[in-house]
Amino acid sequence: MKETLSGNEAIARGAYEAGVKVASAYPGTPSTEILENIVRYPEINASWAPNEKVALEVGIGASFGGGRAIVAMKHVGVNVAADPLFTLSYTGVKGGLLLITADDPELHSSQNEQDNRHYARFAKVPMLEPSDSQECLDFTKLAFEISERYDTPVMLRTTTRISHGKSVVETSAPVTDLPQPHLMRDPAKYVMLPGNARKRHFVVEQRMSDLAKDAATLPVNRIEMRDASMGIITSGVSYHYVREVLPEASVLKLGLVHPLPLDLIREFAGKVETLYVVEELDPFIEEQVKALGIAVKGKELLSLCGELTPGRLRQGFGLPAAQQMAAEDLPGRPPNMCPGCPHRGVFYTLNRMKAYVSGDIGCYTLGFMPPLSAMDTCVCMGASIGMASGVVKVIPEEERSKVVAVIGDSTFLHTGVNGLMDMVYNKAASTVIILDNRITAMTGRQENPASGHTLMDDPTFSVDLHMLCKAVGVQHVRTMNPLDLAECEKVITEEMARPEVSVIITNKPCVLIKREGVFKKGPCYVVDPLSCTGCRACLKIGCPAIQWLPGEGKKGIAHIDALLCTGCDVCRQLCKFSAIGEANER
């Protein structure tokens, strides 16, 4: 059947058609929808893991048990999963195992732009790179064949344009003749003590060289001869930009980007006059082609930074640009926390207290934006607590009480709890605020071990964050209502002054939680235009529901959008003139 599917939907479909038994992931843009779509196939046991390392370990277990497994994450997630990955390369698999890395050129929603093709080379595993949704489906199925034929995990790399782009896909029926998983023992292969691993390293090298030879005959690597004066080696979405902008050029399209089909590259280079590599981010293919002694042009024409686009390709090849009107300077529209977000009050308070805020990855990273402007660092998932420990180790005594780490519920369970263990164990006195909104909010509200529900929406045990903090040794754990500014100020002041580790857990949910009874909307608020003095105090929380009307009143007045207001009450507490109140009272 024909359907328009996104790359992520097509991968999910491919997993189903390949007879996958287990899927595990931690949500991360742009990879999140892979698992969200796998849920449509009840044959697959799909679950959110607390982090990417655990997700991969679940996949490895399923594979060793003889079932096919798929594990998905965004590019930076592979950094977390790298430890098991490198040894998995040595053990190989039983049931096929596919690891998806969804890269994000242009950093549409990421903290760096790393090119994960290097991981395939570094970990010595084959990597496929699809260029549209049809290939996402086909390559997912192919990955399992390669995985089992060569006894190796396989990586599949997508980029944001592939993951979230939609194109027409032909689907087919799932395979039916896969062996039934059961316990199988083979310690020489699966126990990587040095003695065993040393032998396996030879197996790994042999496998990669076999694959490199066979790569020339894999139909996913193909030469398309057109005009021989210009030959372009390319892969992934770049292939389509090449076809769009340079339709006459001959192309070597690579579906397998590691190991490279060196014979095919030599053959292609011999057929064309000038050879180019068109690739996003790093000169991954280019450098290996140059190492063959073949003259090739690549990164001198295209940037190492950012996504490729048809326009950038045109510019790189010196083609005339389309006639375009110039961009004007217009008010920007950066993302903002939702109206009524429970984190706003905490950041407002931290800003007022001039705290040095060690931040983390999630919606609350937006606490960096003005007017809240209350975040001083943000590096990676779970890092805020460890970094707070580090900074108090070096700064003078009188500055130490200024340091506060903030972290979300999901992020705390991802890798934050390890930092907290270290903080207690090594006696680095700092304050940690767990912004518990009871869902993995930033990526679109995925369940996590503290939310009480699984990916399949079954009710389950939910981690007690308070007891968890106690269990790792925190003596002072308290709960705080983040929508009560006086309480925020009191609790945060007290805990910052404490020369010991303390944890504050906020107790209001994300306003977007859909499950009944978790988030309760309050009464709608209005500004009384007669009492409003135009002092602008309420604008300091940056709530999207509050608008400044410069033309009204003496100095202008504030106005609350009734459709956006969730009745969180934070703005009312900011108004010294009691101009803000519940709508029905006015």
Partner 1 sequence: MSDKVTNILLVGVGGQGILLASEILSETFMLAGYDVKKSEIHGMSQRGGSVVSHVRFGSKVYSPIVPEGEGDILFGFEILESYRSLPLLRPGATVVVNDLCIPPPAVLNGQQEYPAGLPEKIAARFPDFLLIDGQKLAADAGNARAANTVLLGAISNRLQIEEKYWQEALERMVPKKALAVNLAAFALGRSL
Q: Which stretch binds ligand SF4 (CB under 6 A): 46-54, 371-379, 479-487, 575-583?
A: 575-583
406 binds ligand SF4 (CB under 6 A): no
State the helix-helix crossing angle for 75-91 and 194-214, rounded to 10 degrees: 110
Measured CA to CA in angstroms, residue 278 lies from 128, 195, 514 at distances of 17, 43, 44
List of residues 6+ apart from 166 with CB closer than 8 A = 4, 5, 6, 9, 133
Q: Which of 102, 245, 526, 579 binds ligand SF4 (CB under 6 A)?
A: 579
Give the C-alpha separation, 370 to 534, whole Å. 20
574 near ligand SF4 (CB under 6 A): yes
CA nearest neighbour of 117 among 321, 268, 289, 258 = 258
Helix/strand/coil (H/E/C) assignment for every residue in 441-493: CCCCCECCCCCCECCCCCECCCCCHHHHHHHCCCCEEEEECCCCHHHHHHHHH
Give which of 395, 356, 353 is closest to 375, Cα–Cα.
356
Q: Which is nearer to ligand SF4, 142 or 511 (CB)?
A: 511
- Binder of ligand SF4 out of 93, 510, 541, 543 (CB under 6 A): 510
Residues 525-564 binding ligand SF4 (CB under 6 A) are 527, 532-538, 557-558
Nearer to ligand SF4, 6 or 566 (CB): 566
* Rounded Cα–Cα distance for residues 547 and 553 (Å): 14
Cα-to-chain-centroid distance, residue 398: 37
Task: Output the smallest distance, CB 437 to partner 1, in A.
Answer: 13
Identify the CA nearest to 384 among candidates 348, 355, 411, 354.
411
Closer Cβ to ligand SF4, 496 or 579, answer by number: 579
Question: Contact residues for partner 1 (CB under 8 A)?
Answer: 2-4, 29-30, 108-109, 132, 160-161, 164-168, 237, 240-241, 243-245, 309-311, 314, 321-328, 330-338, 363, 366, 369, 371, 443-444, 536, 539, 542, 544, 546-548, 550, 556
Residue 184: Cβ-neighbour burial (10 angstroms; 0-12, 13-18, 19+): exposed
Which residue, 60 or 442, is less far from ligand SF4 as judged by CB?
Answer: 442
CB 520 within 8 A of CB 569: no
Q: Of these partners, partner 1, ligand SF4, none, which one is at the site of residue 437 (CB under 5 to 8 Å by kind)?
A: ligand SF4
Contact 496, 431 (CB under 8 A): yes
Query: Which among partner 1, ligand SF4, none contacts residue 205 (Cβ within 5 to 8 A by kind)?
Result: none
Decide which of ligand SF4, partner 1, none touches 579; Cβ closer than 5 to 8 Å per partner kind: ligand SF4
- What does 290-340 look like in DSSP terms, one character per residue? HHTT---B-TTTS-SSS---HHHHHHHTTPPPPP-PPP---------PPTT
| Binding partner at 264 among ligand SF4, partner 1, none, C-beta below 5 to 8 Å by kind | none
Per-residue contact flags (x/-) with ligand SF4 for residues 439 to 458, judged by CB under 6 A: --x-----------------
- Give dist(CA 15, CA 38) in Å, integer: 8
The interface partner of residue 343, options being ligand SF4, partner 1, none and the CB cut-off 5 to 8 Å by kind, is ligand SF4
Q: Which residue's CB is nearer to ligand SF4, number 472 or number 535?
A: 535
378 touches ligand SF4 (CB under 6 A): no
Shortest gap between Cβ of 337 and ligand SF4 (angstroms)?
4
**What residue 37 binds from ligand SF4, partner 1, none (CB within 5 to 8 A, per partner kind)?**
none
Two structure tokens written together for 73? 């994450």
| Residue ranges in 108-147 that form contacts with ligand SF4 under rule CB under 6 A | none
From residue 68 to residue 107, the character string flagging contacts with ligand SF4 as x (rule: CB under 6 A) and all else as - is ----------------------------------------
Long-range CB contacts (< 8 A, 24+ apart) of 491-499? 492/346, 492/349, 492/350, 492/353, 492/355, 492/404, 492/431, 492/433, 493/353, 495/431, 496/353, 496/355, 496/401, 496/402, 496/404, 496/431, 497/401, 498/429, 498/431, 499/401, 499/429
Do residues 430 and 501 touch, judged by C-beta distance below 8 A? yes
| Interacting residue with ligand SF4 among 424, 450, 511, 526 (CB under 6 A) | 511
- Block residue for tokens 């003749």: 177
Strand pairing class (2-6; 166-170): antiparallel
CB 548 → partner 1: shortest distance, Å?
3
- Give the position of tokens 């359907």: 3
Residue 132 interacts, among partner 1, ligand SF4, none and using kind-specific CB cut-offs from 5 to 8 Å, with partner 1
Stretch binding ligand SF4 (CB under 6 A), from 95-103, 105-113, 229-237, 572-580 = 572-580
Q: Does 341 interact with ligand SF4 (rule: CB under 6 A)?
A: yes
CB of 167 to partner 1, least distance (A): 5
15: number of Cβ within 10 Å: 33
Tell me which of ligand SF4, partner 1, none is bound by residue 499, counting a contact when its beta carbon lies within the kind-specific cut-off of 5 to 8 angstroms.
none
Q: Which of 512, 524, 549, 564 binds ligand SF4 (CB under 6 A)?
A: 512
Q: How far is the CB of 28 from partner 1 (least distance, A)?
A: 9
Contact between 265 and 293 (Cβ < 8 Å): no
Residue closer to ligand SF4 by CB (options 200, 343) is 343
Tell me which of partner 1, ligand SF4, none is bound by residue 556, counting a contact when its beta carbon lies within the kind-specific cut-off of 5 to 8 angstroms.
partner 1
- At which residue do the structure tokens 């997630």 appear? 77
**From the CB of 517, what's the least distance to ligand SF4, in Å?**
16
Instruction: Give Cα separations from 173 to 19, 96, 230 (angstroms).
Output: 10, 19, 40
- For ligand SF4, which is the closer residue by CB, 407 or 574? 574
d(CA 115, CA 110): 13
Q: Residue 523: which of partner 1, ligand SF4, none does it interact with, CB under 5 to 8 A by kind?
A: none
**Residue ranges in contact with ligand SF4 by CB under 6 A:** 337-338, 341, 343, 363, 437, 441, 510-512, 527, 532-538, 557-558, 574-575, 577, 579-580
